[in-house]
A and B are shown apart, each in its own frame.
Chain A
Amino acid sequence: MVVALAAPPVVADAGARFVAEVSARTAGVSRLEMCIQCGSCGGSCPSADAMDHTPRALFALIRAGRRDEVLRSNTPWMCLSCYHCAVRCPQDIKITDVMYTLKVMAEEAHTYPNGTAPGFSGIFIGNIRRFGRSWDLGLTALHYLRRFPLRLPRMAPMATSLFFHGRIGLLPTRIKQRGQLKAILKRAKELERAR
């Protein structure tokens, strides 16, 4: 007797939904769903020592739908963007880009483990929005004053040397079409919020 078996229902559990959400928000085709938990990423990572979870463990947490733990993990913030994992991943997962997405999501949820990295990025992009260019002096001065005032004495000789070798611009360079750039970024921000 042939028993007709119905296809098992596809259960869209919280984990699968979270994987899909992270994957869709990642630029490029992330292939995050393809992770086979081999651990090549963590084994390749030069900063894995400093991470709460290796990338593999973090992807397992995403698959388990443990959103809060994932978005509180320091793992994405310790990512160096060296892409060792990305080229070694047997499943071609865009691990670095997934890390960027997780940072963006943690910032939206205000769950980042420590404000140093987001603070640094914030000053950096604030300068870009204002001037259209990055501004080293404004960035580092404000960053060290806010986050590492105690490192400043040690930085002084280096900053002096950079200055006298003509490597620090006192004033920011500005692009001409700042209005155009602002309009583009404003529209892009609206689209980002609508996601």
Chain B
Amino acid sequence: MSRYLYYPGCSMEGSGRSYRESLEPVCAALGIELAEISDWNCCGATEYVSVSTIPAYSLIARNLAIAAGERKAGEPLVAACSACYLNLAKTDRYMAEQPALGVSVNDALGAGGLHYDPGTVRVRHLLEVILTDVGLDTVRAAVKKPLTGLKVAPYLGCMVPRPDVYDMAADHENPKGLDMLLGALGAEVVDYPLRTECCGGHMSQIAPKVGLELIRRLVAEAERREAAMMVTVCPMCQINIDAYQGEMNAMFHTHHRMPIVFFTELMAVAFGLDPKKVGLGREVTNARKTLVQALKAAPAQTLAAAGVAAGTAPAPVHRPRPDKRALPMPRMPQIPGMADSEVEE
């Protein structure tokens, strides 16, 4: 077991309960020990920073200070909610990058008897921990019931791939990590080009015309790609697409029905856990029935036959041919012996 500090975040106790119910057994199965930091507070989501700067960053830094005090041997702090992850990571980075902010935040923390030295705690997202530290081979080895026949649209949303404050992602627009993870579970991963587009965040609540249109695009595209469900890493994306789908259908006079679940829920099911116990069925747009039906309909296959064994990304299923009437795309002349880097210069 490797030990990680764990910041759950508020939604894990309410709207995103199924995330917590599934990620905890999944982590236990993968040898990730999650040590929840004590008496953590809300990260403020995108709301506190919209009202004031120093209080917002002090609020987040209180969690970092607590985490720094509870480390045993330099463990990173793991969050599974995208907004919590980004807020914690940003505070750690910005306090270092802008010393004046660091001084003010520590002045405020001092009023509560706390202090945080930026750079002490490395903040990481659970998906990245599973992909990097655990690895797909270990995940594959833990799969007992491959999700053969389940077509899924991998949906990352914004704040995990961007803005990437630690500068470690190779791709901010189209990363394939989640695709590969779902492929390792035996699921059929559809090519979903909107995987890092925005769900609208709080817009579904404050400006429905803007927010619901973004939700419509995401859901319609997943449906067009024939996904049985979308899979997300973020509680905000989950509740927007799941719970606001009804209002979105009413606004646009559509009849979409697209369930969305957390990636850890599918991991738990693939690891042989009871879907009910890991939160499946808590959705407004029910995913449990869809999942059960899809798995029943698929002929029994072994892991190897499902194409899981090789460490490759699943092949895209649906690739529309280019329209012949469309304008041709410009092509760069190929100059022999010229490296890509030279072309860019």
Selected interface stretch from A9-17, A35-43, A58-66, A131-139: A131-139
**Which residues in B have their C-beta under 8 angstroms from that of A100?**
49-50, 53
Q: With an 8 A cutoff between CB atoms, is A57 at the interface?
A: no
How many chain A residues sit at the interface, stated as a range, is: 35 or more
Partner of A191, one of B108, B201, B209: B108
Cβ contact within 8 Å between A125 and B48: yes
Which of A80, A94, A133 is close to B10, meaning CB atoms less than 8 Å apart?
A133
- Given contacts A78-B207, A81-B46, A187-B110, are A87 and B53 in contact (CB under 8 A)? no
Q: Chain A, 105-133, contact with B by CB distance < 8 Å: what is the 0/1 string?
A: 00100000000111011101100100011
B44 CB within 8 Å of chain A: yes
- Taking CB atoms and an 8 Å cut-off, the chain B residues in 4-58 that contact chain A are 10-11, 13-17, 39-42, 44-55, 57-58
Q: A184 an interface residue at 8 Å Cβ cutoff?
A: yes
Number of residues on chain B facing chain A (CB within 8 A): 72
Q: Is the CB of A157 within 8 A of B41?
A: no
Q: Which residue of A lies closest to B104 (CB)?
A: A191
Whether a CB of chain A sits under 8 angstroms from the CB of B112 is yes
Q: Are B94 and A184 in contact (CB under 8 A)?
A: no
Count: A-B pairs, CB below 8 Å: 212
Chain A residues whose CB sits within 8 angstroms of the CB of B281 once the complex forms: 165
- B54 & A191 in contact (Cβ 8 Å cutoff): yes
Q: Which of A146-193 contact B (CB under 8 A)?
A: 147-148, 151, 154-155, 157-158, 161-162, 165-169, 173, 175-177, 180-181, 183-189, 191-192
Q: Footprint of A on B, CB under 8 Å?
A: 10-11, 13-17, 39-42, 44-55, 57-59, 62, 90, 93-94, 97-98, 101, 104-105, 107-114, 158-159, 162-164, 172-173, 197-198, 200-203, 205-210, 214, 243-244, 246-247, 250, 281-284
Query: Footprint of B on A, CB under 8 Å?
Result: 25-29, 46-47, 50, 78, 80-84, 86-87, 94, 96, 100-101, 103-104, 107, 116-118, 120-122, 124-125, 128, 132-136, 140, 143, 147-148, 151, 154-155, 157-158, 161-162, 165-169, 173, 175-177, 180-181, 183-189, 191-192, 195
